[in-house]
Structure 1
Amino acid sequence: MRPDPRTGLNDAELLSYNTVRIMAESADESVSVGTGFVYEFRSSKQLPILALVTNRHVIDNAQTVKLVFHQGKNNKVDFEAEKLAFIITQFQEGVYKHPNPNIDLAFIPLGNIFTKFTQNGGMPFVSVFTRKNLPKDEEWKELTALEQVVIVGYPDGIWDSVNNLPILKRGVTATHPKVDFQGQPKFLIDAAIYPGSSGSPVFLYEWKEVMLGQDLNLGKDKPRLAGILSSVYLHRQKGVMESVPIPTKRNEVPIMDVPNNLGVVIKSTELDGFIPLIDERIEKDRETQKQQ
């Protein structure tokens, strides 16, 4: 598996440096954990907006949020440097929420956060995914009903706290990813889903070993951001099956509810729904600057 010449990381390792553990504290001082991933939006005029994407329900009631980033040096991870922690207060003021209330997505702009890091001598390192990392139209059409996926996040709040690294888990699609599940831009995956997984990016990624004559060709598909994990089906003793947001607090999960390993994934194409909000915010900022 060849490493990226710029970062020194291979494709699988880049997935580990794309997510950020979100610790959200609400007004009652309860703390919940979720997953965010770094994504660069482009406005309709191609202005880049670096953002941390997660589920809306992860941060809806948050008053403060703590994020921890890696430090970088010469475009590579600086493993020896201290991690960069940032606490956001008055949190709700800068959050973008998806305009469709049925799409459980939101994002936190990272531009000002990274600027403050650099002003204080820090250099955050993240692997950034863009629209180019989503499946192309022809790739969506070629997908089968059973595809291997990788879920990156912090299930049950578990992570490598020393190295600030997430947990990578494998699963498979449980419904056809190119078909809208129940008429919504979503699909199901078969994987163990636990609290802390909310907002986890779901990648189509399969390592392939192919024999070509006498040689072993280590080929692979590039990771494609297929969607964002948002909820999980629970089986309750009453015999009722329902989809609920993945809990972010371990103490909120009733012990009588049994996850049946079916997660609901919002298709990554829904990220484009933020673009009108981004355009509107950019225009407002320009008007404000003119008045100053």
Structure 2
Amino acid sequence: MNNEEARKIDLLSVVSLYLEPQVNNNILGSATGFVVQYGQMPYLITNWHVVSGRNPNSGKLLSPETGATPDSIRIFHHTAKLGEWIITSEALYDSDGNPRWIEHKLGRKIDVVALPLSELDKVKLYPLDLRLAESKIIPQPGMPASIIGYPFGLSNFLWPIWKTGHIASDPDVDFDGCPIFLIDATTRSGMSGSPVVLRLTHTYYSNNVQGLVSEGVTTKFLGVYSGRIHNEAEIGKVWKPKVISEILTGAKYRLT
């Protein structure tokens, strides 16, 4: 990919990464993740169920037929030349058998984890800027929500697929007592761990002024997608950005 082509790639398409949980080097499936930087440490953000191989609500195996749970995860990283990828494998457990990923203080109840990255030789990181969560757009039901990931493992030469639905519940109201809001979108397996964004052009309501604001393109990071709560209605869950901050704040104390 030449420099002119690289400039045409959306910055958020560069953020999403294709993941393959595996056990004993056998691939168990596919998922999505993205990197955030906290202090000097890069972390892979994805779902708890992706790294554990278990249902976060019941703790039961996601693959009861095989009983398999992942022991590592393959990450398709960018290299210094955009458009070329390198595959790394991050262990999910340390030498004592303890999970390397960092959970929320509420544990698996929050289906989001941060995995410290250690295998970064020849890797070029493109972390998601969490300040995008502070964009002045006020998200409202009915607004578009784009899930940037890999449905059924599909990609465009490893570039993610943007699937866009709509915000289906008031984002400021926690769903079922958890920091979640709902989206109405035709999401599929492989998209777990995808970043979800709101992107608007022209006009929107703002916290800073009364009435409508007219601008170009504005993007707001809405959270982390983690699957559907109702398959037939195609209603999915998005964990709010604050859970990432809470996980990383906890990581600071655990790693010092």
Give the TM-score, by structure 2 length: 0.77
CA distance in 1, matches of 2:222, 2:215: 23
2:64 maps to which residue?
none
1:272 maps to which residue?
245
Matched, 1:128 2:135: no
2:105 maps to which residue?
99
Larger radius of gyration: 1
| Preserved CA contact (<8 Å) 1:233 1:259 | no
CA distance in 2, matches of 1:224, 1:24: 29
| Preserved CA contact (<8 Å) 1:191 1:263 | yes
Which secondary structure does the structure 2 equivalent of 1:35 belong to? Answer: strand
| Preserved CA contact (<8 Å) 1:150 1:171 | yes
| Preserved CA contact (<8 Å) 2:20 2:27 | no
| Preserved CA contact (<8 Å) 1:149 1:206 | no
Deviations 1:152-204 (A, max 9, x none): 011111112xx321111111100011211222211000100111111111111
Q: Which has the higher helix share?
A: 1
Determine what percentage of the aligned residue pairs are the same residue. 25
2:89 maps to which residue?
87
Shift in Å at residue 29 of structure 1? 4.3
Shift in Å at residue 127 of structure 1? 2.6
CA distance in 1, matches of 2:113, 2:249: 14
CA distance in 1, matches of 2:21, 2:139: 36
User: What is the correspondence of 1:103-182 to structure 2 with a 5 Å cutoff?
Assistant: 103-110=110-117, 112-114=118-120, 117=121, 122=122, 124-136=123-135, 139=136, 142-160=138-156, 163-182=157-176
Count of residues in Structure 1 that have an aligned counterpart in Structure 2: 222
Which secondary structure does the structure 1 equivalent of 2:232 belong to? Answer: strand
Shift in Å at residue 14 of structure 1? 0.8
Among 23, 40, 54, the residue aligned to 2:46: 54
Matched, 1:65 2:64: no
1:199 maps to which residue?
193
Segments ≥4 residues shifted beyond 6 Å = none
Matched, 1:18 2:15: yes
CA distance in 1, matches of 2:255, 2:25: 34
Deviations 1:243-286 (A, max 9, x none): xxxxxxxxxxxxxxx53211011111111211343222331xxx
CA distance in 1, matches of 2:30, 2:248: 27
| Preserved CA contact (<8 Å) 2:89 2:119 | no
Name the Cα RMSD after superposition: 2.7
User: What is the correspondence of 1:162-241 to structure 2 with a 5 Å cutoff?
Assistant: 163-208=157-202, 219-221=216-218, 223-234=219-230
5+ residue gaps, structure 1, are 1-6, 42-46, 211-216, 235-257, 284-292
Give the TM-score, by structure 1 length: 0.68
Shift in Å at residue 28 of structure 1? 10
Which secondary structure does the structure 1 equivalent of 2:216 belong to? Answer: coil
| Preserved CA contact (<8 Å) 2:140 2:167 | no
CA distance in 1, matches of 2:158, 2:14: 9
Rate the CA distance shift 1:28–1:57 in 2: closer, same or farther, 3 A.
same
